[in-house]
Structures are given as C-alpha cells and as structure tokens.
Amino acid sequence: MSTENLMGQEAVEKLKDMVDKIDMGMMGTYQEGSEFIYAVPMSRQEVDEQGNIWYLLSSESETYQNLEKNKNVSILFSDTSNFNFLSLNGQAEISQDQARIEKYWNKMIEVWFEKGKEDPRIRVLKVVPSEAHYWDNKTNKLVTMFKVLSSAVTGQKLDIGREGELNV
C-alpha cells in the first residue's frame, strides 16, 4: 500500500469524491460522562467547496444533545465492496439556516419531520474537518482482488491501494 497525502484543493476533491460515493457514514459524538463514542448512521446532504460536510438532524436526537455539550465529531465512511474507507474528525456547527433546510429538503428528510420544512426541531449540522485519513484502491475491485490473491499465493508484496492524510 502506498502513501499519498493530499493538501488543499486536491484533498477537498478527494474528500468530496469519497463522501459522495459512500454517502452514509457512522457519525460519532461524545456523551458527557461516558468513555465511549455514541455513533449513528447519517446520510450527508452536501460536501461543499471547502470540504465541510452538511447534514440535517433533529434537536430531539441524542446526537444533537451530545453536540450541544461537545462539538467534536468523528465520522467513519466505509465502502467495503470497493475497498474505500475514510476516517474524519472535525468540529460541529449547528444552525437553523432556513435556506439550507430548503436546499436539502427531500422525501427522505420529510419522513423524519412530520411538520415539514417549518418543523421547529430541524437543525442544520455543518462538520468542519480538522483531520481525515483515507484508504482506497488504485484500480477496480476485480484487479484489487486479483492482486490480493496473487500476493497471498506468491508472498510477493503488491501495491494494492493507497492511504493518506487529507489536509483540507
């Protein structure tokens, strides 16, 4: 596995590409008085040009309650079928930005908020990445599997993927 650290716009593009392809990540927040992370699956609404990841959530959720006390967020994205993984840590910013609620509103969001776009529980969550690490393959799934099997049989180390830091 080779290392490929990315910075600036190149890192933002890699982050955006991976999050858009994977979409659903396990978002971890930190509960007061607990040694363990509280994680829930969250579907991103957008990765913007600065690499910030946007979500909608309810003010009644455990995630929101945790973020009110501790703004640290960890998100793990995993696409096992294509060997693509992303680990991200950042800071949460919460608002009730109506323009963003309008922008992100869709049928899936409607399921969570019975009162529609004006539901007073809707919150906009912006995750500002502070550090990220990725692992992905350099080729398609079939070639990667062939390289893994070949390496296992022959004992020869083959470059099957890359990993690196994303400094956005």
Q: Where are the domains of the chain?
A: 2-167
**pTM assigned to the model:** 0.85
Tell me which H or E stretch contains 82: none
> CA-to-CA distance for 111 and 125, rounded, in angstroms?
18
pLDDT for the residue numbered 139: 58
One DSSP character per residue, 95-153 reads E--HHHHHHH--HHHHHH-TTGGG-TTEEEEEEEEEEEEEEEESS-HHHHHHHHHHHHH
**Over residues 10-27, mean pLDDT:** 96
Burial class (CB in 10 A: 0-12, 13-18, 19+), 73: buried
pLDDT for the residue numbered 61: 97
Q: Which of 18-27, 53-62, 156-165 has the lowest mean pLDDT?
A: 156-165
CATH architecture for segment(s) 2-167: Roll (2.30)
* Per-residue pLDDT reduced to its tens digit, 101-152: 999 999 989 999 989 999 999 999 999 999 999 999 865 554 444 444 544 5
**Over residues 69-89, mean pLDDT:** 94
Flag whether pLDDT at 58 surpasses 50: yes
pLDDT for the residue numbered 156: 59
Of 159 and 64, which is predicted with more confidence? 64
Taken in order 65, 70, 71, 73, the sign of the CA dihedral is: negative
* Per-residue pLDDT reduced to its tens digit, 34-43: 999 999 999 9
* Per-residue pLDDT reduced to its tens digit, 61-72: 999 999 999 999
Q: Which of 1-15, 120-134, 147-161 has the lowest mean pLDDT?
A: 147-161
- Kindly indicate the confidence band of residue 51, based on its pLDDT and cuts at 50, 70 and 90: very high
